Amino acid sequence: MRNASLILAALPVLSGCSVAKTAVDVAMVPVHVATAGVNAVVPSQKKADEKRGREARKEDEERGKQIRLAEERCRKGRPLPTDNCTAALQR
């Protein structure tokens, strides 16, 4: 009988722990939702930034290639009508 009364006395204390844990879990739901939203946006932004960087480097490489080709045509005396040989030969 004594063990039964001890168990009955401990039940409110033990159930209070689970109530407190549930309250904490419920309070944390907005935090978890906000974190998930930020995590969903950040990787996408990072990927977009990397893509823009790759495109910019590719454009710079192509522009440099076209300049070198124009300089070579001007040196050889066979410029295209769109080539600016005065600027190309000054380099």
Question: Whole-model pTM above 0.85?
Answer: no
Q: Which of 66, 70, 86 is nearest to 78 (CA)?
A: 70
Residue 63 Cα distances to 14, 32, 53, 73, 91, angstroms: 72, 47, 15, 15, 15
Q: Which domain holds residue 65?
A: 2-90
Question: How many distinct structural domains can be found in the chain?
Answer: 1
pLDDT in tens for each of the 91 residues of the chain? 555 555 555 555 555 566 667 777 777 888 788 877 777 777 788 889 999 999 999 999 999 999 999 999 999 989 988 888 887 666 6
